[in-house]
Amino acid sequence: MSGPWAPRRFWTAAEAGPAEGGFAVHLDGRPVRTPAKRPLVVPSAALARAMADEWQAQDKLVRPETMPLTRAANSALDKVAPQRAAVIAELAGYGATDLLCYRAEAPAALAARQAAGWDPWLDWAVTDLGAGLRVTRGVVPVDQPAAALAALRAPLEAACDFSLAGLHDVVAISGSLVLALAVRAGRLTGDQAFALSRIDETFQIEQWGHDDEAEAAEAARRAGLLQAERFLSLLAAG
């Protein structure tokens, strides 16, 4: 076996099953490895089964872009695990500049839409996470309380490498650690989080009209967030 990204399909059956430390995908009985040659073992049977479905769905040529769950698991093992502290620091940094804290000064209609969409999730961050964040107008940075930043960092420190990999994509696409943690907690769907993260862009489209290229980029970002949401959901399913 030359590795999980062999250009041509060489197996007949892809199946998930128990492995040391969790669950693995086997191709004709042989375990899949990551691009860095680590055993591709995940902590969730549901995730392993869904990954096996990705492998089984491959046709003559293996197309990694059609295997988002496998790619996310590879990322957890090959990228997150070796630099876990740096990944946590990167994600925690979003809490200091969270999208939900930066509001438009004008027009009033946009500011009102931001408040209606974002205030409930800043309230949720206080009640569920103990993180009270400050809101500012415009682009002038606002210093966030150290206690709030520590409260947002705590669930990252407690998360496994696979959860961090899924969170990374949600945070990077949405620009909000608060929204990402709400998705992971099952309080927001991926679609809801994406819509909340694009309030400004949606408002601009309403004012100035659609742009095909921009819409294609938005569709790709939405798909990426939904894939990360599914990864987190399967991970939590056990």
Q: Which pLDDT tens digit goes with each residue over 118-159?
A: 999 999 999 999 999 999 998 888 999 999 999 999 999 999
Examine the domain organization and report whether 120 and 226 are in the same domain.
yes
Examine the domain organization and report whether 97 and 62 are in the same domain.
no
Exposed, middle or buried: residue 30 (CB in 10 Å: 0-12, 13-18, 19+)?
Answer: exposed
User: What pTM value is reported for the model?
Assistant: 0.92
> Is 198 domain-assigned?
yes
The answer to whether 171 and 197 are in contact (CB under 8 A) is: no
Number of structural domains the chain divides into: 2
> Is 139 domain-assigned?
yes
- Phi then psi for 131, rounded to 5 degrees? -115, 100
> Is 118 domain-assigned?
yes
Examine the domain organization and report whether 119 and 184 are in the same domain.
yes
Examine the domain organization and report whether 37 and 122 are in the same domain.
no
Residue 21, CB half-sphere, CA atoms under 13 Å: how many?
Answer: 7
- The CATH number of the domain holding residue 56 is 3.30.2180.10
Calpha distance 139→119 (Å, rounded): 18
> Is 71 domain-assigned?
no
pLDDT per residue over 99-120, tens digit each? 999 999 999 999 999 999 999 9
Task: Please state the three-class secondary structure of 88-118 as a single string.
Answer: HHHHHHHHHCCHHHEECCCCHHHHHHHHHHH
Examine the domain organization and report whether 222 and 169 are in the same domain.
yes
Examine the domain organization and report whether 32 and 118 are in the same domain.
no
Q: What is the pLDDT averaged over residues 191-197?
A: 98
Examine the domain organization and report whether 32 and 95 are in the same domain.
no
pLDDT per residue over 154-192, tens digit each? 999 999 999 999 999 999 999 999 999 999 999 999 999
Domain membership of residue 199 as a residue range: 82-237
Calpha distance 226→7 (Å, rounded): 26
